[in-house]
A and B are shown apart, each in its own frame.
Chain A
Amino acid sequence: MADTVRSLGYLVDALKDGGPVTPQKMRDFLVSRFCGLTGLTGFYIAMTGFTDSTVPWRLPAGGGQTFTAGNGGLAMTARTDLAPDYCRLVAQVSGTFALFWAVRAKAVNTSIFGWARTLYLYKGTGEGEDEALDGLVTAWTRMGEWEGETSDAGRRLVSMAGIVQLQPADYVTVWGKTSQNGTPGSGALDTSTTSAFFLGMRIA
């Protein structure tokens, strides 16, 4: 039997009083503990953002490279049924994950005062879900609240980190939206000629 990444609850039960602690259980414990890192790195994003709040900016598919994958936990997948294609980290096991992402970006079309670009860390469940549904915001950051800066000097690093519990097929991704004082609207986020990373680490 192959060594299997197990949940904390499973392992606690497998090692209960009176039960035989087999070598297989200990090997499962071993691979469960050493879950390692998996995720994305080196996104060189050659695109110019999203156009409005109904088509949010997302980590584009293509061009991404993965870190050395751990044995289970998260996998990078591209979703292609919603244009444009985008990348997600999909959970392969139940667990708790720490997530880190950063992207260098700038707001464009900032002549309208008060338009903010907001980047969210989203959690979704399963395939076929509409992007706007089942989105659980676990953390978000904001840029461009007041700026009229549209030159390259207006580019800045935005990032966020968080902890999230996932079941198999749950996914997490980073989306960008535009709003003015909380009201969704149009306005682009320029992430061309820049880079991003998004990684997850299973911690329990």
Chain B
Amino acid sequence: MADDIARSLSALQTLLADNTSQQISAQDIRDFLVSALGEYGGWWHDTTQSSQTVSTAAKYTPNQAITAFPVGGNVTVSTTGGTKARITVGTTGTYLLVFSTVVANTSNNNLLTVQWYKGGGTAVSPATTLTWSAALNGYRQNAVCFAVAGLTAGEYVEVFMALASGSDSILLGPGAFFVLRLE
């Protein structure tokens, strides 16, 4: 039995177009099955992170251990690329992107942006932003973002963060990042 393959909707529609001469094979149905039953994967980390310097150059780099969530379908997770939390999709489709993380900053009145990026350089909207006023100096704050993005097979996504200006010491709390294919 061949490997079951998660396929795009258009590919499945072509495979399942007609069965008048029994063109639809059991393999086609199994491909439909794994295509419909979920592609997902991501990362989480709960170890208190060491502080790191962040500037206007976007990056999100947990510097302590991170753990992979369960992975399904053609999604793979890896620690390549410096961000330590890369998620690569193997099927072209539309994906729900979710992250929730905790960040502390050591100074006030700067704007920290946390955002999904795909392919290493393309920002995925929307972004979430945090500021620390005098009353909130150093406090941990929760950054949460949901996004929907079209991704092509082989494309990867990562979470980046960047300050609006200058550089500062950032402390990452726990975080979770994952993708779910919607269609």
Contacts and interface: CB of A to CB of B under 8 A. Distances in A.
Nearest to B35: A33
A33 B38 CA distance: 9
Contacts of B140: 142-145
Contacts of B104: 145
Contact of B33 (A15, A137, A146, A157): A15
Interface stretch (A53-61, A75-83, A158-166, A189-197): A158-166
Residue of B37, B98, B104, B135 contacting most chain A CB atoms (<10 Å): B37
A163 B138 contact: no
B23 to A, nearest CB: 15
Given A149-B135, A203-B40, A141 B142 contact: yes
Interface in A39-88: none
B141 to A, nearest CB: 7
B183 interface: no
A156 interface: yes
A15 B40 contact: no
A142 B73 CA distance: 32
A204 B40 contact: yes
B38 A96 contact: yes
A25 B178 CA distance: 31
A204 B72 contact: yes
Contacts of A138: 44, 69
B102 interface: yes
A162 B26 contact: no
Given A96-B38, A162-B44, A203-B40, 9 more contacts: A15-B29, A15-B30, A96-B40, A141-B102, A142-B102, A143-B140, A145-B140, A153-B135, A161-B99
